[in-house]
Amino acid sequence: MSRASAITGLVLALIGAAIFATKAFVLGVPLAPSDVKDLWQVSLRVTVRGEGRRGSISILMPRTGDGQTILDEATSSGALDHTSRTTDDGRVGVWTGRFEGLHEIRHRFRVKTVDVTIPLPGRTTARPPEDVERAWARGTVMYPTTAPQIVAALDELSLPGNGDVVGRVRTIFAFVQHEVALVRTAADDAVLALEQREGSREGKERLLVTMLRAAGVPARNARGLVLNEKSAPAERVWTQAWIDGAWVPMSTVDGFFGHRPASLILFGTGEQRVIDATDLRAVAYRYESLREHLQPGEVASVMTPDSGLLRLFSLYRLPLATQAALRHLLLLPIGALVIALFRNVIGLQTFGTFMPILISFALRGMPLAAGLVLVGFVLGVGVLARLALERLRLLLVPRLALLLCLVVLSVTTVAVIGQSTEQNELFKGVLFPMIILTMLVERFTIAIAEEGWKPALTKAGYSVLAIMAVYPLFNSIVIEHLMFSFPELTLVIMGCLVWIGGYMGYRLTDITRFRAILSPQPPEQPS
């Protein structure tokens, strides 16, 4: 290694290491993710367009309560007036003012959730208190308890007697769950859902509330979000029934009864919608969420650290979608380092310099074996097709385009098979990097033609090895946390890369390659 590259690498690595050490040991940024379950960061962005008149927009906001703790809540809305009121149904934030052109309202909070289980009583005769009955057991426009269809349906169910409230609720629940199909585009209305025996999520949950009320059980709909790591949070509606002094959560769609999964956060109950606007022209909104890997206290220290400089550069202050993207992006340098080691220190050749990284990246979150089988399947189909296409003598670019189509089709097939066998891991393969696979097919076939099956398969084997080496790094929460909390580690990686680039010594594979030179006596080849 030349002095210059040794020093350059050292300087880069030292700068990175110095920033890292300062942050970790002086400023106290946590080195490893803590073991937290179900702590989420959620943000809502509402974009509103008005035409110069006064208007208002109200947003249902979650409260700390059974099964959820709200932390670090913050809103921003520019020049609008903001008030909030809390009722039994929930907390509503209201923004009023003159809406001219585009306005943006942001609401963000952290939430820690746990599973809530409500123990169900045996026989109960306790009548609900009068105020509960008045508020939650009456018919309304949304819950038409006296509609003839509802009454007739209840008659047919032959409910257990009044003494067995749980039994009555279960019977109605089972009816709505099994007799009314879930069809996304079907009716939101309770009576229509009953008549057509199919309803939307909203329709089924409304029907459940209506029938419960008609049977004398106080009930209401609950609204909130379902959180999951793979996609943006979605609004959810479920049902609460008043049984022996407690609101018991249940959903005929998501299939829970007596407990609320930790993935749900509750915004409010009743007929209030999540977002409501008056005198506004257009409203658009979007929720984003990110699972946290730090304790709430640690999050505070990286969100608003004591050091002003650190605050300026903390990635934790970025919008959630950007954070999610950067968490992935910052892993790539590690993959690149592994590939550099593979090729220049070990000396194993792979198909395409960075192809193994991209494949590992695409396989993130998928079991490695299933991912490799998927790649193998697509590659196999591609290579067979490529060999068949050989006879047609097509020109290069149309031929590659054809292969791309085939790769897309085979991935689609895998997705369909995955869906029908409920192998959701396979389904994720849809996001696979098609272009890379297409080039892989082409390179692989050319390697077969030019060098023969054995060298081509050897090279494919080394590629798989590289994929397997990079994969655990890309799937490690610890490494993800380190690279995201300490992006300066990229400088350390760059330093290592300068060193590898300046390494003029032998590769490991040079040993086998040049062994013939070292063997003392040239043995005669049998002829």
* Binding positions for another protein, rule: CB under 8 A: 344, 347, 393, 395-397, 446, 450-451, 455, 501-507, 510-511, 513-519, 522-525, 527
- Cβ-based nearer residue to another protein, 49 or 507: 507
CB 87 within 8 A of CB 44: no
CA end-to-end span of the chain: 45
Give the other-Cβ count within 10 Å of 145's Cβ: 20
CB-based contacts of 73: which residues, under 8 Å, 6+ apart? 61, 107, 108, 109
Burial per residue of 294-323, b for 16 or more beta-carbon CB atoms within 10 angstroms, e otherwise? bbeebbebbeebeeeebeeebbbeeebeeb
Least distance in Å: CB of 497 to another protein? 14
- Cβ-based nearer residue to another protein, 208 or 497: 497
Q: Where are the alpha helices (DSSP H) in 75-129?
A: none
CB 358 within 8 A of CB 433: yes
CA max distance for the chain: 105
Give the other-Cβ count within 10 Å of 125's Cβ: 10
- Cβ-based nearer residue to another protein, 369 or 517: 517
Least distance in Å: CB of 399 to another protein? 9
Beta bridge partners of 220: 240
Least distance in Å: CB of 402 to another protein? 14
296 is written with which tokens?
């709430």
- Cβ-based nearer residue to another protein, 327 or 507: 507
- Cβ-based nearer residue to another protein, 141 or 396: 396
Rounded Cα gap, residues 336 and 498, in angstroms: 12
Q: Where are the alpha helices (DSSP H) in 85-188?
A: 130-136, 148-157, 165-179
Least distance in Å: CB of 11 to another protein? 20
- Cβ-based nearer residue to another protein, 6 or 477: 6
Least distance in Å: CB of 444 to another protein? 14
- Cβ-based nearer residue to another protein, 216 or 502: 502
Least distance in Å: CB of 503 to another protein? 6
Least distance in Å: CB of 256 to another protein? 56
Least distance in Å: CB of 443 to another protein? 9
- CA Rg value for the chain: 30
Torsion-angle region of 45 (φ positive above 0: left; ψ -120 to 50: alpha; else: beta): beta
- Cβ-based nearer residue to another protein, 461 or 501: 501
CB 120 within 8 A of CB 56: no
